[in-house]
Amino acid sequence: MPYFINTWRTPRPDQYLNVVKGAKESLERTGRPGNITTTVSHPSPAQTSMGVIGTVAGFPTIQDVQDFLESLWEDESNIERLGNLGALCSSSNVSISQMINQPQANRFENFDAKYVQRTFITPATGKGPELEELLCEWADDTDLKVGTILSRNMSGEATQIRISHFLEDLTTLEELKKEVAGSPRLSKFRELIGPVPRIGLGRIYYSKRP
């Protein structure tokens, strides 16, 4: 399955817009598809400030990720620019993730996502594969105009699953929540998860397609 890279930045309060614009410029320099999202509803609002999340996509294999990372370090000016952008933040980091489900890029015509809801799920002990299978089936079983990416990180909690729902508007998000609440899969889902999932909502500031 394909891979993607995320950047996780928490700008200093007086530098938020500068970091958003800098993240966009950084993505554009890669020449790869991806997006930049800004916080609309934070998963832990009492613990940290608004974030800027960047996604660099288009890596069919882990070797492609490695080649990309090596190319960054071949020109130290790339690292210097990333450091300058990080200096505008109270925290700045990066993660690599692998998709679990098949890409849904061609599922809809004229799909222009403006929001993304990210749900972070930790499976119950030993239930990861079964939960992944359930979520993959669930992702394809909707008539709503929603693009879904299921992924797992290469670092952090070893079994954590992230669901990213891409939507054109927040009304669709409300419809999706109602659909989930009424799904016969919900009871099984609750059996397969550990702690209560965390949810965050972002607005897509910039998107670059293949």
* pLDDT, position 81: 95
Query: Of 56, 53, 150, which is closest to residue 96 (Cα–Cα)?
Result: 56
* pLDDT, position 210: 80
Percent of the chain predicted with pLDDT > 90: 86
Q: Give tens-digit pLDDT for 152-167.
A: 999 888 889 999 999 9
Domains of the chain (ranges plus CATH)?
A: 3-99 (3.30.70.100), 115-208 (3.30.70.100)
Q: Work out the mean pLDDT of the chain and round it to a whole number.
A: 94
- Taking each helix axis as running N to C, give the angle between helix 16-30 and helix 76-86, from 0 to 180 degrees, rounded to the nearest 10: 160
* pLDDT, position 174: 98
pTM of full prediction above 0.75: yes
* pLDDT, position 105: 60
Average pLDDT for runs of 10 along the chain of length 210? 96 97 97 97 87 97 98 94 97 96 76 96 96 95 93 88 97 97 97 96 94
Kindly write down the DSSP assignment for every residue of 46-75, as one continuous string. Answer: TTS---EEEEEEEESSHHHHHHHHHHHHHS
